[in-house]
Amino acid sequence: MSENRWEGIDEFVAVAECSQFTAAAERLGVSSSHVSRQIVRLEERLQTRLLYRSTRRVTLTEAGQTFLQHCQRLQDGREEALRAVGDLTSEPKGMLRMTCAVAYGERFIVPLVTRFMGLYPQLRIDIELSNRQLDLVHEGLDLAIRLGRLQDSRLVATRLAPRRMYLCASPSYLERYGRPHSLSELSRHNCLIGSSDIWQLEQNGREFSQRVQGNWRCNSGQAVLDAALQGVGLCQLPDYYVLEHLHSGALISLLEAHQPPNTAVWALYPQQRHLSPKVRKLVDFLKVGLAERPEYRE
């Protein structure tokens, strides 16, 4: 019968961390003699001394210090593997804290999250709708839904849905002021400014930022849309605001060759080895739910 190569590792780590055989035995729920016997066998297998023993405390040899670091990583990996397998069949439960932009969250995310909660009665959800990009780690958030391009490389990202920006205006505005046919003509038009006066555009396959100007500004996408529909000026808005109005003819898409490449709707969560069931299953649910909406079946 071959030796169990894992024998003695838990005992060794416990003694190294407690600096005593008695305290290590109490932590493991076994006798001190059992701990001592396992470590002696471990040292025999390794053919090296791991511990200096005295009547009062135990200290690590140089080999013991090196071995301890590897054993602690082995323990962490073993526990992570056990959690990963267990989580595959676990139901989401406990608190899940998340954030999303206000307008997109109200229209798309919150209704799906509410449906998700109905499937898992042990789950509690705390949603903060904010147009500020909250720090997930600092704020203790499990999940963020972000739109556009990602900037925080510390976070893990899953693409939930496409997102396309449209530059457009109403027929009444174009009748009065004409239709722009080049990027240089944008400066002659009244541009409706939302949360930023920088528009993302593309030229010769390269994306660039262009500052625009106009006599109207509001940090609400819905308000920008309403002003565009009333013929106040040009707007640049995401697909979910304007597609319905482009189809009906209430808005006209402009400078399509210069529209920026597709961005996306993202689920972001703090870096970690294994996603908890509640986050993983909610992200999957959101991806399927968004794909079923008419805005994303285009």
Alpha helices in 150-234 (DSSP H): 171-177, 221-229
Report CA-CA distances (Å) from 278 to 76, 94, 123, 147, 286: 22, 8, 8, 22, 12
Q: Which of 43, 46, 47, 51 is nearest to 19 (CA)?
A: 51
Taking only the tens place, the pLDDT of each residue in 162-215 is: 988 999 999 999 999 999 999 989 999 999 999 889 898 888 878 888 899 999
Q: Mean pLDDT score of the chain, rounded to an integer?
A: 88
More confident residue, 86 or 61: 61
User: CB under 8 Å, gap of 24 or more: what pairs does 18-24 form?
Assistant: 19/57, 19/58, 19/59, 20/57, 20/58, 21/58
Token reading at 283 = 């992200």
DSSP conformational letter for 38: H
Highest mean pLDDT among 52-66, 79-93, 268-282: 52-66
Whole-number Å distance between alpha carbons of 180 and 49: 81
Whole-number Å distance between alpha carbons of 202 and 205: 6
Burial class (CB in 10 A: 0-12, 13-18, 19+), 153: exposed
Strands 206-211 and 198-203: antiparallel
Weakest mean pLDDT among 67-71, 80-84, 124-128, 290-294: 80-84
DSSP conformational letter for 258: G
pLDDT at 152: 60
DSSP conformational letter for 260: P
Taking only the tens place, the pLDDT of each residue in 95-126 is: 899 999 998 999 999 999 999 999 998 899 99
Question: CB 36: neighbour CB atoms within 10 A?
Answer: 17
Yes or no: say if 156 and 270 are a contact pair by the CB < 8 Å rule. Answer: yes
Q: Which of 45, 46, 24, 19 is nearest to 35 (CA)?
A: 24
Whole-number Å distance between alpha carbons of 140 and 217: 33
Question: In the chain, what are the helix, strand and coil shares in percent, each to the nearest 5?
Answer: 45, 25, 30
Weakest mean pLDDT among 1-5, 84-88, 118-122, 136-140: 1-5
This prediction has a pTM of 0.65
Token reading at 75 = 């323990």
More confident residue, 261 or 119: 119
Whole-number Å distance between alpha carbons of 224 and 196: 12
Taking only the tens place, the pLDDT of each residue in 122-150 is: 899 999 999 888 888 778 889 999 988 77
Task: Identify the band that residue 273 occupies on the pLDDT scale cut at 50, 70 and 90.
Answer: very low
Place of tokens 């209704």: 111
Q: Which of 281, 200, 192 is nearest to 228 (CA)?
A: 192
Yes or no: say if 272 and 157 are a contact pair by the CB < 8 Å rule. Answer: no
